[in-house]
């Protein structure tokens, strides 16, 4: 469904560098042309029968979109503000499909940014293929008994160095690993003695087993599954960065960047729900006038427009701080993720209410067309959960306010 983008009238971008604005417009054109035609089918598909949207993934790679956040030496666009451009790109993808935005986030920000912290050899062998779209990347920290907990005590996946020092033997299990059913490589967090390290794992190695894709409430085009490692021999050259014990910092830096991406995805979904709601309230009539003539809806739209403005500014500020050389731009990254994802759920719920029965419908019986906003409501919820729950984001913010001595 083509709707008027209210942000074109209401949002005046004074924060973004010109290259970020250009990247946004380019991503919008690509998303309109490539993602929008497939969005409804992806949102209403089944993870196990419809599978990964490889056609869309391939088209995004061919269009060069995966290179927006990376330097020229690995085939990227070599932008001065890569994080801001990447976040703006994710917003534009999420406007049409949360699933595609999530696939992009995992491929480029999580797997890609982790690999970007690797050695020159690792970057050339792996990251260059991520940027071109030749391979699909994944990132694995979450375990069955520990999700947002990245403490050494909670981490059960273990890598043991062989006596000759040429390989590491990896054993353990990871949970909810996005892109894993189709991934060619997974960046994996593991214990190495009393420290943590990250490893680049080729999914074709003996002992790597990816489970059946989960069936989820939303984000059905973003495949998740368990990944088990049973005596997987990983070459020492695949220790990320070439130095043992750097895994926690590498993982936290990657996840902080990822939270900015998830915040941007939340804004994209919120903007889409808002635009659909504005169009409906401006045209749907009840009791002799358009629904938007009721002050309740006018005040709600005013509040939501203000909140979208704030959410977009927050993620851009966090991204620009990251681009300025701060790998942990807190509290802005946590604030952006908390605010943007919560807002997407709130506005999607508003849109369901505004559309009434049409908002509750997944598929309309008269012509089989998809309901206008139901998928947005389903897809938006995961943003409050993955890449650090919103409860964790509140704790991160509180720790910035009170200090570690009080907040822990």
SS3 string, the chain, reads CCCCCCHHHHCCCCCCCHHHHHHHHHHHHHHHHHHHHHHHHHHCCCCCCCCCCHHHHHHHHHCCHHHCCCCHHHCCCCCCCHHHHHHHHHHHHHHHCHHHHHHHHHHHHHHHHHHHCCCHHHHHHHHHHHHHCCCCEEEECCECCECCCCCCCCCCCEEEECCCCCEEEEEEEEEEEECHHHCCEEEEEEEECCEEEEEEEECCCCCEEECCCCCCCCCCCCCEEEEEEEEEEEEHHHEHHHCCCCHHHHHHHHHHHHHHHHHHHHHHHHHHHHHHHHHHHHHCEECCEEHHHCHHHHHHHHHHHHHHHHHHHHHHHHHHHHHCCCCCCCCHHHHHHHHHHHHHHHHHHHHHHHHCHHHHCCECCCCCCECCCHHHHHHHHHHHCCCCCHHHHHHHHHHHHHCHHHHC
**What is the count of structural domains for the chain?**
3
Measured in residues, the chain has a length of: 408
Tell me: do 392 and 288 sit in the same domain: yes
Residue 154 lies in a domain: yes
In tens, the pLDDT along 262-282 reads 999 999 999 999 999 999 999
Question: For residue 373, what pLDDT is reported?
Answer: 97
Residue 358 lies in a domain: yes
CATH number at residue 214: 2.40.110.10
- Tokens 């008027």 locate to 4
Residue that finishes a domain, picked among 187, 212, 247: 247
Region 352-372: mean pLDDT is 90
Q: Which of 185, 332, 384, 387 is an active site residue?
A: 387
Question: For residue 15, what pLDDT is reported?
Answer: 84
Mean pLDDT is lowest, of 55-59, 206-210, 285-289, for: 285-289
User: Is the peptide bond prior to 331 cis by the omega test (within 30 degrees of 0)?
Assistant: yes
Tell me: do 262 and 401 sit in the same domain: yes
The pLDDT mean for the chain works out to 96
Region 334-358: mean pLDDT is 98
Tell me: do 224 and 190 sit in the same domain: yes
Residue 121 reports pLDDT greater than 90: yes
Residue 1 reports pLDDT greater than 70: no
Region 333-349: mean pLDDT is 99
Find the radius of gyration of the CA atoms of the chain. Answer: 21
**What is the C-alpha to C-alpha distance for residues 78 and 323, in angstroms, rounded to an integer?**
12
Q: What angle do CA 238, 188, 99 make, to 5 degrees?
A: 125
β-strand partners of 285: 290
Region 318-322: mean pLDDT is 98
Tell me: do 229 and 285 sit in the same domain: no
**What is the C-alpha to C-alpha distance for residues 155 and 191, in angstroms, rounded to an integer?**
7
Question: For residue 315, what pLDDT is reported?
Answer: 98
CATH number at residue 339: 1.20.140.10
Region 156-168: mean pLDDT is 94
Question: For residue 369, what pLDDT is reported?
Answer: 87
Which of 211 and 11 is assigned the larger pLDDT?
211
Residue 2 lies in a domain: no
Residue 147 reports pLDDT greater than 80: no
Residue that finishes a domain, picked among 137, 171, 206: 137
Tell me: do 272 and 376 sit in the same domain: yes
Has 387 been annotated as catalytic?
Answer: yes
213: left (phi over 0), alpha (psi -120 to 50) or beta: beta
Residue that finishes a domain, picked among 137, 167, 183: 137
In tens, the pLDDT along 175-215 reads 999 999 999 999 999 999 999 999 999 999 999 999 999 99
Residue 58 reports pLDDT greater than 80: yes
Residue 199 lies in a domain: yes
Residue 243 reports pLDDT greater than 70: yes
Tell me: do 400 and 262 sit in the same domain: yes
Residue 1 lies in a domain: no
Yes or no: say if 204 and 166 are a contact pair by the CB < 8 Å rule: no
Which of 120 and 368 is assigned the larger pLDDT?
120
Tell me: do 345 and 230 sit in the same domain: no
Yes or no: say if 172 and 156 are a contact pair by the CB < 8 Å rule: yes
Range of the domain at 348: 255-407
Region 122-150: mean pLDDT is 95
Region 165-182: mean pLDDT is 97
Q: With the CA atoms of 35, 226, 229 and 386 taken in that order, what torsion angle do they form, in degrees rounded to the nearest 10?
A: 70
In tens, the pLDDT along 245-260 reads 999 999 999 999 999 9
Which candidate, 170, 228, 164, 166, places its Cα nearest to that of 199? 170
CATH number at residue 86: 1.10.540.10
Tell me: do 146 and 133 sit in the same domain: no
Question: For residue 148, what pLDDT is reported?
Answer: 74
Residue 174 reports pLDDT greater than 80: yes
pTM, two decimal places: 0.96
Residue 397 reports pLDDT greater than 90: yes
């Amino acid at each position: 469904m083509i709707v008027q983008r209210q942000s074109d009238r209401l949002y005046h971008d004074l924060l973004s560098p010109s290259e970020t604005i250009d990247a946004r417009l380019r991503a919008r054109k690509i998303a309109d042309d490539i993602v929008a035609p497939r969005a409804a089918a992806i949102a209403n598909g089944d993870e196990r029968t419809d599978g990964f949207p490889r056609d869309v993934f391939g088209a995004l790679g061919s269009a060069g979109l995966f290179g927006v956040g990376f330097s020229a030496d690995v085939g990227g666009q070599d932008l001065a503000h890569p994080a801001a451009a990447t976040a703006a790109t994710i917003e534009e993808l999420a406007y049409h499909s949360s699933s595609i935005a999530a696939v992009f986030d995992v491929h480029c920000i999580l797997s890609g940014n982790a690999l970007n912290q690797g050695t020159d050899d690792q970057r050339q062998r792996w990251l260059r293929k991520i940027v071109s779209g030749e391979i699909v990347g994944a990132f694995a920290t979450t375990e069955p008994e520990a999700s947002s907990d990245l403490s050494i005590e909670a981490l059960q996946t273990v890598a043991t160095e062989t006596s000759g020092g040429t390989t590491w033997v990896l054993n353990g299990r990871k949970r909810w690993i996005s892109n894993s059913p189709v991934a060619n490589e997974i960046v994996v967090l593991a214990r190495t003695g009393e420290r943590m390290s990250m490893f680049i794992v080729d999914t074709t190695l003996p002992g790597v087993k990816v489970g059946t894709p989960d069936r989820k409430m939303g984000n059905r085009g973003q495949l998740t599954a368990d990944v088990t490692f049973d005596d997987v021999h990983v070459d020492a050259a695949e220790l990320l960065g070439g130095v043992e014990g750097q895994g926690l910092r590498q993982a936290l830096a990657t996840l902080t960047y990822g939270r900015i991406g998830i915040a941007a995805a939340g804004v994209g979904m919120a903007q889409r729900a808002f635009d659909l709601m504005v169009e409906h309230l401006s045209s749907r009539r009840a009791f002799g006038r358009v629904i938007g003539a009721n002050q309740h809806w006018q005040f709600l739209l005013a509040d939501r427009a203000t909140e979208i403005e704030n959410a977009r500014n927050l993620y851009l500020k966090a991204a620009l701080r990251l681009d300025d050389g701060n790998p942990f731009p807190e509290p802005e990254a946590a604030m952006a993720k908390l605010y943007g994802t919560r807002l997407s759920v709130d506005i999607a719920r508003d849109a369901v209410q505004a559309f009434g029965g049409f908002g509750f419908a997944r598929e309309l019986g008269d012509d089989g067309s998809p309901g206008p906003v139901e998928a947005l409501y389903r897809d938006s919820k995961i943003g409050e959960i993955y890449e650090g729950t919103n409860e964790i984001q509140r704790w991160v913010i509180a720790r910035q306010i009170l200090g570690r001595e009080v907040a822990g």
